[in-house]
Amino acid sequence: MRLYSKDDLQDALFEALNSNKSSAEFVKKYVTNLGKIIKKRPQHYRYFGPYWWALKSIMLKYEVPGIDDFVDLEWLEKINQALTGDDYVCVASWAMQESRFGGLELPTNTVMLEDAEGNMTECVTIDPFLEALIKSG
């Protein structure tokens, strides 16, 4: 699995924006609905891999309840440098989730990422607040 570029996401973004009045409407609807899913199944955040941190920061911006304000700043910066725009982050996180669902993966904290040279790096995404919710049942 690799991180997405803006070019990778053009078709999915076009489709998302085509069914919404604006980019802002799409983003708000996406993170609001995601907040409802996370409330019911907090382990679902794991499917987003490194995109979780940028996605979570957008959720905080829209004051989506059920999350705390901790974000991994290193991954947040990497994702925001590659994908300027909340709409791109939402589409990338959706694509990562769909890819992992399609591969019938369980919601694990670890994903192997391939860089442009073919090198593999293990990415571990752990949100302490949500992990505590998962453990408390």
Q: What pLDDT score was predicted for residue 1?
A: 79
| pLDDT band per the 50, 70, 90 thresholds, residue 115 | confident
Over the stretch 12-68, which tens digit does the pLDDT of each residue have?
888 888 888 899 999 999 999 999 999 999 999 999 999 999 999 999 999 999 999
Average pLDDT estimate for 110-135: 92
- Containing 133, the helix (H) or strand (E) segment is helix 128-136
Write down the pTM of the prediction. Answer: 0.90
Over the stretch 53-95, which tens digit does the pLDDT of each residue have?
999 999 999 999 999 999 999 999 999 998 989 999 999 999 9
Count other C-beta atoms under 10 Å from residue 127's C-beta: 23
Q: What pLDDT score was predicted for residue 100?
A: 87
Q: What pLDDT score was predicted for residue 137?
A: 78
The CA distance from 102 to 25, in Å, is 27
The CA distance from 118 to 69, in Å, is 34
Contacts of 30 by beta carbon, 8 Å cutoff, 6+ apart: 16, 90, 94
